[in-house]
Amino acid sequence: MSLAPRLDIRQSQSLVMTPQLQQAIKLLTLSNLEIEAFIAEEVEKNPLLDAGAVREVATPERTEREAPAGADELVAGTAPTEDRGLDLDYATESHQQDSVADGGTGPDGGLSLNGSSSGASLGGEDGPDWDALADDAPNLAEHLEAQASLVLSGVERTIATHLIDQLDEAGYLTVSLEEIADRLGVAVERVESVLAVVQSFDPTGVGARDLAECLALQAREADRYDPCMAQLIANLDLLARGDLARLKRICGVDDEDMADMIRELRGYDPKPGCRYGGESVQAVVPDLFVTRTKAGWGIELNTATLPRVLVNRRYYQELRHGPQDKGSKAWLADCLASANWLMKALDQRQRTIIRVATEIVKQQEAFFLHGVTHLRPLTLARVAEAIGMHESTVSRVTSNKYLSCARGLFELKFFFTSGIAAADGGDAVSAEAVKSAIKTLIANEGAKILSDDTLVELLQAKGFDIARRTVAKYRESMGIGSSVQRRRARTLNG
């Protein structure tokens, strides 16, 4: 074998992800509100993009000249070099067709199951100012600091500030008094004295070191902390187990007094700090609307939350004919290419979302007509095969997207569930339908608490072939306790 150097020529294929293609893939996974933030960043970087303007209505000639390239053109290499198909399987480097433009949809990308188009353009009316709904209320630390500034000063104020900093979001003190005293170089008794002041602040129960102390502080505030209540709070473990007979002996009360004490205890807040601060609750805004019409089902994008953006070609012409060097010309060409690609990517994103949503409604029509008990098992692969896309594309489209219909607001992922075999050998049923049946049975169980074995029998009578461990798993996922826990809770409720 020769060891001399030589020159070989080899031919190979590889998938190259351009920055534009990476951007288009990212757009698929974003919700409408996230798209708005993304567009705002692009407008800041690209002077040829205008946001907040009404979208141009393309003429037939311009539509023919500037129509988005289909996936077949992109794969074949006849499309512009900056265009690439959005529907790519990067694991197998296979190209799938997913261009809705090839399917003869309306110019705005809207679809309905009867073949008619729905409004899904980039334009739309101004949506509500969601930022105006943000809660400006002070957080727990600020609320407590304001109270401390009124009653404490000097070293005590410093100790109080340190104690407040050590509270968790529920309002509990997370470190020992000895550790705080050692940090600040003061006596433990002084720290304990300041803690007593902090525990007198609103909300009542804040600054407690455990649940028992938190409840005791609230009982004292309500003037209900007598010896019997003190014994009850000191034996919360017995209350959790439902051992009322032993609790009555320890507290020295009868049934009526015990029931009254338990009702009083339930009125207290075990996490008083949660009333303040934390992240503000963001309302979920639907990305799609599904409505039933005389002709079928109408699927429409929520245009109120879609950004309105276009390419300012007049400004481009002004810059193009102005004095500029070679570098400026190259920069201006890059800006135009980037703006055009973004417009195409946004349009194809909308068409892809509408197409996936249309297929979901077709597959789950029984749910939209009759409810969750008629939800069918559905997989991403099944939808992908039906619409000629790759499974990864469908997964991206259904991420962070919400659908609004007459039955409520649902994440698109909600419609993809595993299947449970039917007891009679018929079609499989959705796991969500089984969960709904379990929840209904437990809600209507009456005086007799249903065990998991009994639930299995009742579900099999309804046609669900399900094992006991599956019932337990579904029950726990819905936050429903076991039969023992439910029986204990009913006993405590009296």
pLDDT of 15 reads: 67
* pLDDT for 134 beyond 90: no
pLDDT of residue 211: 92
Instruction: Give the rounded percent of residues in the chain with a pLDDT score beyond 90.
Output: 19
pLDDT digits (tens, 9 = 90+) for 9-53: 888 887 666 776 777 778 888 887 788 888 888 888 888 888 764
Indicate the domain borders of the chain: 140-275, 288-417, 420-493
More confidently predicted of 18 and 63:
18
Picking from 55-59, 358-362, 416-420, which range would have the lowest pLDDT averaged per residue? Answer: 55-59
Q: What's the 3-state SS for the chain?
A: CCCCCCCCCCCCCCCCCCHHHHHHHHHHHCCHHHHHHHHHHHHHHCCCEEECCCCCCCCHHHHHHHCCCCHHHHHHCCCCCCCCCCCEECCCCEECCCCHHHHCCCCCCCEECCCCCCCCCCCCCCCCCHHHHCCCCCCHHHHHHHHHHHHCCHHHHHHHHHHHHCECCCCCECCCHHHHHHHHCCCHHHHHHHHHHHCCCCCCCCCCCCHHHHHHHHHHHCCCCCHHHHHHHHCHHHHHHCCHHHHHHHHCCCHHHHHHHHHHHHCCCCCHHHHCCCCCCCCCCCCEEEEEECCEEEEEECHHHCCCEEECHHHHHHHHCCCCCHHHHHHHHHHHHHHHHHHHHHHHHHHHHHHHHHHHHHHCHHHHHHCHHHCCCCCHHHHHHHHCCCHHHHHHHCCCCEEEECCEEEEHHHHCCCEECECCCCCCEEHHHHHHHHHHHHHCCCCCCCCHHHHHHHHHHCCECCCHHHHHHHHHHCCCCCHHHHHHHHHHHC
Please give the residue that has the higher pLDDT: either 223 or 105.
Answer: 223
Give the per-residue pLDDT at 79.
43
- State which fold the 420-493 domain adopts: Arc Repressor Mutant, subunit A (1.10.10)
Averaged over 425-442, what is the pLDDT? 78
Residue 318, CA distances (Å) to 48, 315, 323 in order: 11, 5, 10
Q: Is the pTM of this model over 0.95?
A: no
pLDDT tens digits, 335-359: 888 888 888 888 888 899 999 999 9
Write out pLDDT tens, residues 264-302: 888 899 999 888 865 555 678 888 999 998 888 999 988
Residue pLDDT, tens place only, 83-112: 444 454 444 443 333 433 344 444 344 444
- Domain 140-275 matching CATH 1.10.10.10: the answer reads no
Mean pLDDT of 140-158: 90
pLDDT of residue 437: 86
- The pLDDT of residue 57 is 34
Share of the chain above pLDDT 70, in %: 78
Any idea which of 21-35, 233-247, 456-470 has the lowest mean pLDDT?
A: 21-35
| Mean pLDDT value across the chain | 78
Quick one: pLDDT at residue 493? 65
* pLDDT recorded at residue 99: 36
Task: Give me the mean pLDDT over the 388-409 stretch.
Answer: 89
382-399 mean pLDDT: 89
Decide: 402 and 286 in contact? Cβ < 8 Å.
yes
Q: With a cut of 60, say whether residue 424 has pLDDT above it.
A: no
The answer to which of 77-91, 185-199, 245-259, 431-445 has the lowest mean pLDDT is: 77-91
Task: Please determine whether the domains at 140-275 and 420-493 fall in the same fold group of CATH.
Answer: yes
- Check residue 111 and give its pLDDT: 44
Residue 237 structure tokens: 């473990």
